[in-house]
């Protein structure tokens, strides 16, 4: 389990200013996470196959098809500046 001194050192390494009350809260939260990881590491996983997703299901795929028509001409007709089918924009970086 992490001590308050270790929490202060972690905050210092992360360049965080952590008040005493926040440090105590962070200590409780991090110790809770570490306790959960410790409990999980003690579980017997012999014979358990790794899986990429907790549910064995496939992502439904749709057909890759065009669903909208070409609207390039109407969009470029209202653009402030167009040249050779490209939108012209002001230079913003020198």
- Would you state the pLDDT for residue 42? 95
The four Cα atoms 8, 11, 16, 18 give a dihedral, to 10 degrees, of -40
Distance CA 22, CA 9 (A): 14
- Would you state the pLDDT for residue 6? 97
- Grouped pLDDT means (10 residues each) for the chain, 94 residues: 95 95 96 96 90 78 89 94 93 86
CATH of domain 4-41: 1.10.20
- Would you state the pLDDT for residue 54? 77
Where in the chain are the domains?
4-41
């Amino acid at each position: 389990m992490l001590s308050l001194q270790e929490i202060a050192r972690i905050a210092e390494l992360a360049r965080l200013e952590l008040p005493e009350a926040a440090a105590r809260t962070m200590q409780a939260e991090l110790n809770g996470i570490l306790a959960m990881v410790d409990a999980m590491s003690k579980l017997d996983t012999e014979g358990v196959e790794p899986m990429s997703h907790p549910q064995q299901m496939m992502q439904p795929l749709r057909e890759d098809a065009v669903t909208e028509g070409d609207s390039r001409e109407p969009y470029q007709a209202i653009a402030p500046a167009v040249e050779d089918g490209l939108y012209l924009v002001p230079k913003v970086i020198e």
